[in-house]
Amino acid sequence: MPEYIERFFLEAYRSFGGTVAPVKGRKGVWSISRVPPDLRKLPDSLERKYGKIGAKYPQITFDKEKIVGYSDLEFVGPGHSLFEGVVERVLRQYGPALRNGAVFYNADATEPTVLWLLKCGVAVILTTPQEVVRSLEGMESDPEVEKIAVEVSMRYERDQGRKPVSVEEENCGWDVTSLDGGQVARYIEVKGRAGEGGVALTPNE
């Protein structure tokens, strides 16, 4: 979805020192006046595949439908040199965390697919093993367990020196936004179970 690709790019690009600003009067259109030199350096293999990263991008969008009828508007997404450069930097910087990350399963998948994640890049979605499916059968929402889980997560964030903010009622797709120095450090989707086993994610999550 364009809005998720947009949010991934904006947060990753800014976290690496890039500046991107919205174009006044044009929703979903952004401007990059200068790409930081270190972000313009693509590995040779990626540069041959996607081309060089430009020094600036006056008007970009992450929604292909917006470029119809606008010759001055550039679509940025998977396959664009700037986007692929940001992804490469994310994978290089956060690679160890990704390798130690969670395993995602899709109960409807018939073959492995790819999931784009805000903040940390990509993940492979696997077909769901039957033992995982069985562990989710009969699960019911328990507000008390969920409340405890959120409290534990927020306590952990505070212990790490961050400021967690509950956004459970805002339907963001996650439960806690954790701030560090006034900037968003982590988006946390909390899952609590009374026992051990898998958890299920909604499409929005």
**For residues 197 and 39, what is the distance between their CA atoms, to the nearest angstrom?**
41
120 three-state secondary structure: coil
65-91 pLDDT, tens per residue? 888 777 789 999 999 999 999 999 988
> Which residue in this structure is represented by tokens 């200068």?
34
Closest CA to 87 of 156, 5, 188: 5
**For residues 60 and 74, what is the distance between their CA atoms, to the nearest angstrom?**
5
Q: What is the pTM of this model?
A: 0.53
The predicted structure's pLDDT at residue 122:
56
**For residues 89 and 15, what is the distance between their CA atoms, to the nearest angstrom?**
11
Closest CA to 61 of 81, 75, 80: 75
Torsion 162-167-171-175 (CA) sign: positive
104-156 pLDDT, tens per residue? 666 676 776 666 665 555 565 566 667 766 776 777 778 888 899 999 999 99
* Cα–Cα distances in angstroms (integers) from residue 40 to residues 60, 98, 110, 116, in the given order: 16, 23, 38, 22
Long-range contact list for 11-18, CB < 8 A, 24+ apart? 11/118, 11/119, 11/184, 12/86, 12/87, 12/89, 12/90, 12/119, 13/39, 13/86, 16/86, 16/89, 16/93
Structure tokens at 155: 């306590």
Written out in words, the top-level CATH class of the domain with range 2-95 is: alpha beta
The predicted structure's pLDDT at residue 76:
93
* CATH 3.30.360.80 domain extents, the chain: 2-95
Burial class (CB in 10 A: 0-12, 13-18, 19+), 105: middle
The predicted structure's pLDDT at residue 201:
75
The predicted structure's pLDDT at residue 35:
94
48-64 pLDDT, tens per residue? 999 999 999 999 999 98
